[in-house]
């Protein structure tokens, strides 16, 4: 078998290797957030033609706003880039399983597919605490979990370990 045959391809044409590439971008954004004192979460919105149409990182502390989650930032930028609110041909890569607020935004934006790095056992809305796709809503988002999971979880663990050291 050649490399192409070994790659597992999802319904939207992205391979598992592509998923890791875009999750790597989200992971770099998460690391930027951590260096700025923010919880390290990053997100990348990818349109079906391969264009990155939105990126985001947590900015709740710097902006003093509970809405400044990485997913919300990436969705808002994608809306501006594309000139509309429907992101039905978009894949969203996020380093941490979205919270209920972000899951609602993902559903409302009609995002086709969500790729998650690490699970969030305290607030995850795609299976950890509850699954928004199980609710009788008008849109269901395709889900891929565990992409670069160890790296995504590691950034979060390191951030909170360092935070505990300085007593915050």
Phi, psi of 25 (to 5 degrees): -65, -45
Q: Let me know if 151 is a catalytic residue.
A: no
Tokens 């990348």 locate to 44
Give the DSSP H/E element, type plus range, for residue 42: strand 42-47
CA distance 27 to 44: 9
Beta carbons of 55 and 74 less than 8 angstroms apart: yes
Which residue in the list 38, 71, 73, 97 is annotated as catalytic?
71
CA distance 86 to 93: 17
Strands 52-57 and 90-96: unpaired
Tokens 């985001």 locate to 56
Two structure tokens written together for 116: 């998650």
CA distance 45 to 111: 9
Active centre residues (catalytic): 71
């Amino acid at each position: 078998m050649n490399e192409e045959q070994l790659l597992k391809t999802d319904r939207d044409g992205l391979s598992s290797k592509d998923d890791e590439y875009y999750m790597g971008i989200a992971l770099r954004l998460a690391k930027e957030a951590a260096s700025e004192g923010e919880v390290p979460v990053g997100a990348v919105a990818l349109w079906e033609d391969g264009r990155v149409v939105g990126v985001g990182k947590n900015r709740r502390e710097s902006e003093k706003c509970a809405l400044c989650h990485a997913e919300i930032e990436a969705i808002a930028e994608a809306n501006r880039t594309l000139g509309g609110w429907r992101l039905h041909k978009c894949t969203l890569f996020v380093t941490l399983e979205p919270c209920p607020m972000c899951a609602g935004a993902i559903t409302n934006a009609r995002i086709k597919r969500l790729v998650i790095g690490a699970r969030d056992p305290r607030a995850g809305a795609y299976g950890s605490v509850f699954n928004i796709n199980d609710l009788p809503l008008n849109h269901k988002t395709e889900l891929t979990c565990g992409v670069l999971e160890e790296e995504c979880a590691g950034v979060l663990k390191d951030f909170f370990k360092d935070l505990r050291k300085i007593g915050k």
